[in-house]
Amino acid sequence: MKRNSGVSGSNRRFGHGAWARAALAVAGIGAIGAASVLGPGAWAQAVPGEYVGGAGRGQLQRDADAVRDTGASGLVVQARDAAGRDREARSGVADLEEGGSVPFDAYYRIGSDTKTFVAVVALQLVAEGTLSLDDTVEEWLPGVVTGNGNDGSRITLRNLLQHTSGLANYTDILFADPAQLTPENYLAQRFTAQTPEEQVALAMTRAPGWLPDARDPGAETRWAYSNTNYVLAGMIIERATGHPWEQEAHERIIEPLDLRHTMTMRTSSYVPQPTATGYLQFPGQEELTDTTLSVGGGADGGIVSTTSDMNTFLRALMDGTLLPAEQLTQMRTTVPADFGSPGAGYGLGIAWRPAEGCDAGVWFHGGTSFGTSSEAAVTPDGEVSAAAAVFTTRLGDQERFLEQAEATVAMIDRAVCG
């Protein structure tokens, strides 16, 4: 059940707040790409797209080309229908200097789409009785969330998974000064990782936006996106199970679903081959910088996958394969959220938005890393889904960032909803 209900029939739209959040809330940043810097016109010549699949061929390819035309260096998208048939399209190039097509099976960092995996692990543990959504952070991590008005006894696991904790976003603090977001600094830090404890400690240097009601913290509906929430969720999973969140995600999701191209990278800065070069436009820069090498984050954004595996995961989530009915209902109980679309609501690690052509809307999350944007959506019954990787992100051009984001979501929604 939703605590808010959206109205179907409008596409997701990105406002200034969405851009700022994506620009400064990239999960797990601590790595910098190779020093290749390319001029802004390097991708301007249209590269013929390539499509694989049956019905819907023209529209999917046109939509992929439209994303490329916003300035994306390259992208790949896969749509899967109710019969399990795949359609795929790609556009642009794998590398601005060397050219080539983006591989259909390209690996990419899914960024904050990782949060959905972590929420599934937590909810499985709830179903087993190991955790409760009403457990407080203080119960599992005593003394970790404290100082400057922060109080772990007022924040539950539900608050963490739903972004209703009020906790400061550690990445906002890490990148409080946009002047520090430079190709040079990125290059110098490309193999530097922070521990979860360091990330949480950084968040504790700021007062919370609010404290949930002590009498019923789980009823909190104030919402603000914070990567800190999922860093803490990962720490709680480890404390509760005795295993890193990565192991639990592998044994509970990746292995049972046979996601052979999905992996947790921990502190590795590399993405397996085949992939495409990821590019970032830094603030104040016209050029794109090759940022393929990067430490990819933890429980807030540390998974690498493919479009095919993402489709398999989302369908298994929505059709009840991964969660009992009670926990899936809890996951899909939303609060109003400024998450890219009018009428959007955020559940536990997954969000809902209205989508033209889908009367029941679509479930989604999305992820942004330095050089890659991950976007996917699935129908509530799990029958139809689509996933895409776009290998360009922009922190230096808000207008083009929004154009690319809107074109990508339009492509995904049309692929899912027709």
279-281 and 392-394 as β-strands: parallel, antiparallel, unpaired?
Answer: parallel
Listed residue (178, 177, 174) closest to 193, CA to CA:
174
The residue annotated as part of the active site, out of 112, 294, 308, 373, is: 112
The values of phi and psi at residue 147, to 5°, are 90, 145
| 91 labelled catalytic | no
CA distances from 195 to 33, 170, 228, 231 (A): 20, 12, 12, 10
274 φ/ψ sector (left φ>0, alpha ψ -120 to 50, else beta):
beta
Q: How many helices (H) and strands (E) does the chain have?
A: 13, 19
Question: Helix, strand or coil for residue 29?
Answer: coil
Tokens for 350, please give them. Answer: 């997954």
The values of phi and psi at residue 382, to 5°, are 75, 10
End-to-end CA separation in angstroms for the chain: 26
E-strand stretches of 135-180: 146-147, 150-151
Tokens for 254, please give them. Answer: 């990746």
Listed residue (231, 232, 227, 202) closest to 24, CA to CA:
227
- Tell me the catalytic residues: 112
